[in-house]
Structure 1
Amino acid sequence: MSFALASDLTSPGPKTLSHLVPAMGRALLGEGPAGLGLPDATRYVLLLVDGMGRDNLEQFYHLAPILSDMQKCHDLTCQVPSTTATSLSCIGTGTVPGRHGVAGYTFRAPSGRAMNALSWANGDDPEIIQPHPTAFEALVAAGVTVSSVGPARFQRSGLTRASLRGPQFIPIHDEDDVDERVDKTVRASRSGDVSLTYVYERSLDHVGHGEGWQSSAWRSRLMWVDNLVGALLDELDPGTVLVVTADHGMIDVPGDHRVMVEDEGGLLADVDLLAGEPRFRHIYTRHPDDVAQRWQRVLGDRAQIVIGDHAVAAGLFGRVDASTRSRFGDVLAITRSDWAIMSRATPKELTLVGMHGSLTRCEMRVPLLAQICEG
């Protein structure tokens, strides 16, 4: 097992979301050309479109002509697991999951409980979960004006305070109002001679989870996102570089490809806590070898079952700090193809059509697009 880890921006090979803010920071701080093939600028606007995987987008480029015409930069992947909380933490901190410690959608917190990294239910203090200075904070300390434009409800969320702290937060009150989003983004970008404005858009992911990424509703929302990108390009000041990326892609999971853990061959025997998400389960146990063997025997080729220590040694999560090791499963169940591992203990997950978290190309590859605005 191997995976590309965050490393020096000048090194060859695959790059991940952890490289993104440092890449723009090189140009903003006058330390050299921007990395990842991005144009150099003194003002960047980074639009993160939740759930817009590269493969998902490329299949429907004909519905998104503005996105399809943007410059394609360095190939980019998310890190493991391919899920929002982990990916946004990689962007905000500029480091790998093993260091920032946001191990997935749900994971074992220092308290020993399963915490939800999006709602922050059962979560410890955000600065205990993620104590390191963020990449955003480093830019602010160096004199860059950094702003975050996003849904008002996230202004003081646990994830914002843990992994995305540092920017001035500019709340959006109507997420469907393109004019509000564009106006606030333009003003934020103009607020400093050297600036980075981070803009979070989540509706495409929401539609994909509810109806699937191959649904007409997803295609319609992609066209809306394309219009948002066009409006930003029209209104941002000349010379500003708009960068568009995503946190993960998505797989549609058929109803007959869902394994219910309560119904299958004693899967929960010796399991102290089950977390993660349907396509990437963290399994916490004092008997990892026995549990791994049982899960592999029951699931067969529907999933890859990995001892957690082996995954850590192989670098699946980047270098894992001693303080974060307990957050990653003692055993990992990583689904293959379009399978998912469900539990009645998390009933909201049972309603999902589109899912992510695993290591497939469709989930892991994300676009990295850029364009210099002409005003």
Structure 2
Amino acid sequence: MSGPDPMMVEADLLRPARPEYGEASLADVLPSALAVLGVPGAVDVLGLTGPLAGVRRLVVLLVDGLGWHQLPAAGRVAPALARLAAAPTARRLTTGFPSTTPTSLVSLGTGVAPGAHGVLGFRTAVPGTDRVLNHIEWRDDPDPLRWQPVPTQLQRAEAAGVAVTVVSRPEYAGSGLTVAANRGGVYRGAVDVDQLATELLTVVAAGDGPVLVSGYHPDLDRRGHRFGVESEPWLAAVVELDRLVGRLVAGLPADAALLVTADHGQLNVPAEPDYRFDLDTDPRLRAGVRLVAGEPRVRYLHTLPGATDDVVAAWRSVLGPAAWVARRAELVEAGWFGPVPADHLPRIGDVVVVCQERFVVVATETDPVGSSLIGFHGGVTEMELSIPLLVATTG
């Protein structure tokens, strides 16, 4: 298929979508890539072995915040990216739920849905404590090997004789999230797009193969959060991304391919108070709540004993159609996280609040920075949940 339809109307982009685990999701990318490289037992859910026949070296680049429906806007200033998006091999995938970076990075790295790996949000409660774990700031407590017990696809590839390397920002080396998502192989730091391109191309060309190189680029998401999607700073980040993609496509060895994907899309939320509910200033939203986790588009509410029904009623009354307010069991039974083992269930709130359309639940006193953003993600709209898989070869 070719790229996204730039004429999709607002209502279509803001309608709910569902994760397509085991069919066309971010978690299916690395198992399919391993099948291309001949790793025994790897399942090619995405059908890559045909188009990539003869490929023995793969670069998998995850661009933070490059949603499927951001591609038309990005393509206006990014010719290399536009060519990949217009190719017959370009396709829409979905991320998992919630559509947030820590959850998605670990889904990519492990090849399983969020329920199985247990990194179930940007912030989640640590069961048995009053602590909320921010997965971006996580180091070694809790132990990443216990918190995220699933072996990674990188470990699987390395055990099969594939030369495996991760290229990302130097400051992420050894973090809890890096260990959870990318344990296995060698870690190399890259401070900007030019060094990222150099490192990826150097590694993919080394040795006799097979080779798997996983790269991560965070800047587009950061600009979108701060300035909004399609803002001038966001477009400037797209231009930098296009330079990266262009260098990678031009520099691929003859037996190599590039896969470009993302962790989520992103949408802009108006600054007007009608779109932003503040749980720090509305006592109705704090009543009966012991801990708040998640992020503005998806809130996890851990309730006081016996208060769950009252919390559900209060939040439904205050937010109305701006959010889907449900008990944990409803989302688990409906498969939003994929299968969830018993040990991981308490990481999800007793009540889950999923914002619809362009609404958010901010916390202006306890999270002033997060509350001041323009671009958001985490929810289940088509715009947030849809991500690309773009393919480039030397042919």
Q: TM-score range by the shorter chain?
A: over 0.9
The 2-side partners of 1:60 and 1:135 are apart by 30
Query: Which residue of the partner structure matches residue 355 of structure 1?
Result: 376
Q: Is the 8 A contact 1:77 1:366 kept in 2?
A: yes
- Residue 313 of structure 1, CA deviation: 0.7
Query: How big is each residue's C-alpha offset from its partner over 1:22-50, in whole Å with a ceiling of 9 and x where there is no partner?
Result: 01111112668954243322111011110
Question: Which of 277, 281, 290 is matched with 2:299 structurally?
Answer: 281
Q: Look up the equivalent residue of 1:36 and give its one-letter code.
A: L
Query: Which residue of the partner structure matches residue 144 of structure 1?
Result: 162
Query: Which residue of the partner structure matches residue 230 of structure 1?
Result: 246
| Residues 1-375 of structure 1 mapped to structure 2, 5 A cutoff | 3-7=18-22, 14-29=23-38, 34-38=44-48, 39-40=51-52, 41-70=55-84, 71=87, 72-110=89-127, 112=129, 113-120=131-138, 123-172=141-190, 174-176=191-193, 178=194, 180-192=195-207, 193-256=209-272, 257-264=275-282, 266-285=284-303, 286=305, 287-343=307-363, 344-373=365-394
Query: CA, structure 1 residues 123+304, in 2 after alignment: closer, same or farther (shift >3 Å)?
Result: farther
Query: Which residue of the partner structure matches residue 10 of structure 1?
Result: none
Query: How big is each residue's C-alpha offset from its partner over 1:107-136, in whole Å with a ceiling of 9 and x where there is no partner?
Result: 012452100001117941111210221111
Pick which of 109-118 and 210-219 moved more: 109-118
Task: Report the TM-score, using the length of structure 1 for normalisation.
Answer: 0.93
List 4+ stretches of structure 1 deviating above 6 A. none
- Residue 289 of structure 1, CA deviation: 2.0
Q: Look up the equivalent residue of 1:283 and give its one-letter code.
A: L
Q: Look up the equivalent residue of 2:268 and give its one-letter code.
A: D
Query: Which residue of the partner structure matches residue 11 of structure 1?
Result: none
Pick which of 285-294 and 136-145 moved more: 285-294
- Residue 100 of structure 1, CA deviation: 0.5
Q: Look up the equivalent residue of 1:311 and give its one-letter code.
A: L
- Residue 189 of structure 1, CA deviation: 1.1
Q: Is the 8 A contact 2:17 2:380 kept in 1?
A: no
Q: Is the 8 A contact 1:5 1:318 kept in 2?
A: no
Query: CA, structure 1 residues 98+35, in 2 after alignment: closer, same or farther (shift >3 Å)?
Result: closer
The 2-side partners of 1:158 and 1:111 are apart by 20
Q: Look up the equivalent residue of 1:268 and give its one-letter code.
A: R
The 1-side partners of 2:106 and 2:98 are apart by 12
Query: How big is each residue's C-alpha offset from its partner over 1:79-113, in whole Å with a ceiling of 9 and x where there is no partner?
Result: 00000000000000110110100011100124521
The 2-side partners of 1:34 and 1:273 are apart by 41
Secondary structure of the residue that 1:262 maps to in structure 2?
Answer: coil
Secondary structure of the residue that 2:285 maps to in structure 1?
Answer: coil
Q: Look up the equivalent residue of 1:105 and give its one-letter code.
A: F
The 1-side partners of 2:258 and 2:169 are apart by 20
How many residues get paired?
365
Query: How big is each residue's C-alpha offset from its partner over 1:2-22, in whole Å with a ceiling of 9 and x where there is no partner?
Result: 844532xxxxxx511110100
The 2-side partners of 1:232 and 1:3 are apart by 32
Instruction: Tell me how large the CA RMSD over aligned residues is.
Output: 1.9
The 1-side partners of 2:367 and 2:97 are apart by 21
Q: Is the 8 A contact 1:37 1:73 kept in 2?
A: no
Query: CA, structure 1 residues 33+5, in 2 after alignment: closer, same or farther (shift >3 Å)?
Result: closer
- Residue 265 of structure 1, CA deviation: 5.1
- Residue 250 of structure 1, CA deviation: 0.6
Q: Is the 8 A contact 2:18 2:380 kept in 1?
A: no
Aligned identity (percent) is 35
Query: CA, structure 1 residues 148+30, in 2 after alignment: closer, same or farther (shift >3 Å)?
Result: closer
The 2-side partners of 1:202 and 1:183 are apart by 17
- Residue 231 of structure 1, CA deviation: 0.6
Q: Look up the equivalent residue of 1:53 and give its one-letter code.
A: G
The 2-side partners of 1:269 and 1:121 are apart by 32
Q: Is the 8 A contact 2:17 2:385 kept in 1?
A: no
Give 5+ residue unaligned stretches, structure 2: 1-15
Pick which of 256-265 and 213-222 moved more: 256-265
The 2-side partners of 1:353 and 1:2 are apart by 22
Q: Look up the equivalent residue of 2:133 and give its one-letter code.
A: M
Q: Look up the equivalent residue of 1:266 and give its one-letter code.
A: R
Query: CA, structure 1 residues 347+226, in 2 after alignment: closer, same or farther (shift >3 Å)?
Result: same
Secondary structure of the residue that 1:315 maps to in structure 2?
Answer: coil
Give 5+ residue unaligned stretches, structure 1: 8-13
Q: Is the 8 A contact 1:50 1:204 kept in 2?
A: yes
The 1-side partners of 2:385 and 2:114 are apart by 15
- Residue 263 of structure 1, CA deviation: 2.5
